[in-house]
Amino acid sequence: MSFGLFPGGPVFGPWIARRKSAAQQESGQGDGSEKTKTPQKAGKKHEAQANSRERLHVRTDELELSGLTKKVIYRERIFARVPFAFYSLAAVASGMLAASIEPSSPQTAAVRSTLVFLAVLFFFLLVNFSTLSIRITFNDIVVRFGLFNFRADWEDVSGMDSVRERDGAKNLYGIRMRSLPDGYWRIIYSAGLPRVILKLREGAIRELSFTTMAPEKVLTVAAECKRRKDAQAAKKTVR
C-alpha cells in the first residue's frame, strides 16, 4: 500500500499515469509535425526569394520598356565667359544709352527705339549663349545653347574625333555652320576649346562639333553608347 496525502491516490494513480503518457505521445507527434512543417516553410521562403531576384533582373531587350535607355548617363554644363561678358556689357550699354535719350524729336525717338531693340537683342543673346549644355543617354546626344539644340541618334553616328588648340582649331564661340565637301555641313556649338566631333551618316549636316572640358570621357561614353546601339541593331537583324 502506497502512502499519500490524497486518499484517492492508490485508486486514481494508474489513470493519472495513463493520461500523462497519452499527453507525452501527443506532444511528440506535434513536435514531429512542426519539424515537417519547418522545411516546407523554408522551401517556400527560398522560392519567394528566387522569384523576387528574377523580377529584379532586367534583360537587355527590356531596357526600352523600363526606361533605362532614356536615363542620362552623362551631363555637362559649360559657362561661356567671353560671350557672357560681351553680351552683358552690350545690353547694359544699350539700355543706359536708351534711358539717357529723351524722345524730343522723331530722330531721337527712332534712335531710342533702336537702342531699346539692341538692348533686348543683347539680353536675349546673353540668356541663350552664356551656357552650353551636353546631355547623353543610351539613345542619343543633345547639345544645347539656350533655346537652340541639336540632337543626334547613336545609330546615325559613324565616327568620332576631338580637336584641340594644338591641332590648329580656332577658338570660336556660339553656333556656327561650316561647309564640307559634297555640299554637306558641319554645325559647331562652341564655348571654346577643346571640342569633340561626331560624324553622321545621314542628313545635310554630317558633322556635329561641340565644346567639352572632358573630351576623353565624352569619347569613351559615346563609344560605349554606339557599341550598345550597334549590338542591339545586330540582334534585331538576326531575329
The Cα 39–Cα 26 span in angstroms is 21
pTM for this prediction: 0.67
> For 36-40, 67-71, 117-121, 191-195, which range has the lowest pLDDT when averaged over its residues?
36-40
Share of the chain above pLDDT 70, in %: 69
Which DSSP string corresponds to 92-144?
HHHHHHHHH----SHHHHHHHHHHHHHHHHHHHHHHHSSEEEEEE-SSEEEEE
> For 15-29, 132-146, 190-204, which range has the lowest pLDDT when averaged over its residues?
15-29
Mean pLDDT, residues 86-108 taken together: 92
**Rounded (10°) angle between helices 81-100 and 106-128:** 160
| Cα angle 92, 93, 97; round to 5 | 115
The domain limits of the chain are 80-131, 152-239
Mean pLDDT, residues 175-183 taken together: 91
For residue 70, give the DSSP letter: G
pLDDT tens per residue across span 41-79:
555 555 555 444 434 333 444 444 445 567 889 999 999
Return the pLDDT at 1.
35
The Cα 75–Cα 217 span in angstroms is 11
Return the pLDDT at 54.
37
Widest Cα–Cα separation across the chain = 142
